[in-house]
Structure 1
């Protein structure tokens, strides 16, 4: 639900939490931005957009400036992609399969769940995405000049939340190639026991080619 529909006490507490999260991420070097709050829901769910038209020139702002952005009217919490963090967006079903494979390796990655049922796997920025992922309709790469919402951004049908928090990874973003490979394995139907329900070749990193990332 949108925070404007919450009781006044909840709205105040939630905005404090949102601002605190924004400041914490900025102090760790994440390129954080305030975004719009979407009133759409269901099939009409939309990404929030940056609150400032010149958002790219505002990246790297001091935490005091970020605190001011998140004080006052409702907003969403965005992270700009393509500089230090990228995001691979997938369906919840594919996300669960990939997350189970990651757990087997003992190296979790920061994972975000959105109210529309989609998941975001956060990685270090890269110049290319695996060709299998680039060609798959269920995968969207958010890279250069893009942005994605982070917890606890609110929507009418729910709140963006962490499936795996960054601190579990020690605040270190995994290499994109590692998550690319796991997502490809999940797409091919591999389970956490090592078995697969589909057969296809997983191309080595050297065969990766650049793909056009999503701008949002």
Structure 2
């Protein structure tokens, strides 16, 4: 757990990894931003004033599309969280742990699951192409949030006070292609009424939405 191991060596290694990941994503055209970082000097049980990372710069929207060299400079010096702005290259649908597990099980049935991020606060992020809006079935649920224009998401290995953001499914699985938003939305809607994940982990899945997602991926490959 992060809140019990903030050694200087650990912080240094983490800072290097964050910088490397930020530069790599920038070279791929992802709109990378430096974010706020948890206070490593704070007591383990002190999370006051810091819950999730936000952009370090108030004018962050004017800095989108910065050259990887500029990204490298931003991530040199004080450590920063790794953020990516949404609404341009990608969007993300944020869901609770239960819905995330249901949807991930359906997506695994395609053999090419969408990129998925898990955060230490129990929330999941499903990365997609940019979407106009969420379907009503998702938009009306208080536990679902769409990250589109004007928003951002943290990406691995961004630290929280009590854990690290990590990939459930890495973008490499899709060859760095993003799944169509409406296909992922359809899977999430289907997952809303699905069985508990532990009830059907080995059962065959015949999800129409999941099959559609695989078809879209093969067509783009």
Please confirm whether the aligned pair reaches a TM-score higher than 0.5, indicating the same fold.
yes
CA positional deviation for 1:47: 2.6
Q: Report the counterpart of residue 117 of structure 2 in structure 1.
A: 112
CA positional deviation for 1:105: 1.7
How many angstroms apart in 1 are the aligned matches of 2:16 and 2:38? 19
2:60 equivalent among 36, 55, 78: 55
Aligned pairs, how many? Answer: 197
- CA-based RMSD of the aligned residues comes to 2.5
Q: Report the counterpart of residue 8 of structure 2 in structure 1.
A: 8
SS at structure 2 position matched to 1:37:
coil
Mapped contact 2:84–2:152 kept (Cα < 8 A) = yes
Q: Which runs of 4+ in 1 moved over 6 A?
A: 40-45
CA positional deviation for 1:92: 1.2
Change (3 A) 1:195 1:174: closer
TM-score (norm 2): 0.82
SS at structure 2 position matched to 1:178:
helix
Structure 1: where are the runs of 5+ without partners?
Answer: 197-201, 203-216
Q: Report the counterpart of residue 181 of structure 1 in structure 2.
A: 186
Deviations 1:67-92 (A, max 9, x none): 11111112111000001110100111
SS at structure 2 position matched to 1:109:
coil
CA positional deviation for 1:10: 1.5
Mapped contact 2:120–2:163 kept (Cα < 8 A) = yes
Q: Report the counterpart of residue 137 of structure 2 in structure 1.
A: 132
Mapped contact 1:77–1:153 kept (Cα < 8 A) = yes
Change (3 A) 1:41 1:150: farther
Deviations 1:168-195 (A, max 9, x none): 1110010000100000000022566458
Q: Report the counterpart of residue 103 of structure 1 in structure 2.
A: 108
Deviations 1:26-70 (A, max 9, x none): 000100000112459889973311101111111111111101111
Q: Report the counterpart of residue 83 of structure 2 in structure 1.
A: 78
TM-score (norm 1): 0.84
SS at structure 2 position matched to 1:183:
helix
